[in-house]
Amino acid sequence: MILESIILDRDLTHIENLKKYEDFLPYLKIDACFTNIDNAKHYLKNKKVDIIFTGLEFIQNNSIEKLNLNSIDTEIILSLNTPSFEFKNHCMGAFDYLMKPVPFEKFIKPLNRIYTQKLPTTNNKSKPSFNNDFFFIKNNSVIEKVRYNDVLFFKGMKDYIWIQTVNKRIITLQTMKNLCENLPSDRFIRIHRSFIVSLNHIDCIDRNRIVIGKERIPIGETYRQPFFSALKELELIWD
């Protein structure tokens, strides 16, 4: 399941910061960004979103009501510059709020709650779910079965992906974005523009590099904080 969202905010730096976090959350998609309420309203006429990230100014003057949201399930997450008394009077309809600048570990908490709430529930009439521990990927003319536990890392090479497993290398026509959307986030994490690694196969973290066997994989500067925040969120690192 993917959470569809938009950003409605006049703070361009804040917008860029939130867009960077999208790469680390396979279940989040930021469809569009707006600084003007009328443009957002036009976009939402025929588009349903799960989340709107917006600034307090759009709540204070009731601009958000002009959007005429076509779903009662759309959640509002506010972004604030400073905690204020006025906030308490204007955020009653918001799901949560974030203080700027927003660190990754704070950003993911309300999103995880929304994602959990929106997961489809099963009943006795539903088909039982099948928890796959593998996936199929095309390798030349062959579609190969790859087990998650066998994957060491993925390396992006323009329009191709190098999949390194414990016993072989697979080259496939694929994108990093598509991988991020489909890989289980509790098993794999993006640490660089060109690398997604298996959490299970990390031997150690040596300064700005991850060691997996004989491979030393760099941690990108913009990925460093989200990487360590994700480890803490998953309770995989103890301070």
What global pTM score does this model have?
Answer: 0.58
Domain boundaries, the chain: 3-118, 134-233
Cβ-contact 99, 110 below 8 angstroms: no
pLDDT score of 230 more than 60:
yes
pLDDT of residue 126: 40
Q: Which residues pair with 77 in a beta bridge?
A: 53, 96
pLDDT digits (tens, 9 = 90+) for 126-143: 444 446 789 999 888 889
| Topology match between the domains 3-118 and 134-233 | no
Q: Which CATH architecture has domain 134-233?
A: Beta Barrel (2.40)
Query: At the topology level of CATH, where does 3-118 sit?
Result: Rossmann fold (3.40.50)
Which amino acid appears at position 32 of this protein? A
Distance CA 118, CA 12 (A): 29
Helix (H) or strand (E) holding 193: none
Question: Would you give the DSSP letter of residue 102?
Answer: -
Per-residue buried b or exposed e for 156-195, using 16+ beta carbons within 10 Å of the residue's own CB: beeeebbbbbeeeebebebebeebbeebebebbbbbbebb
Residues 11-64 pLDDT 10s: 999 999 999 888 788 788 999 999 988 898 889 888 889 999 988 777 666 556
Q: How far apart are CA 24 and CA 184, in angstroms?
A: 11
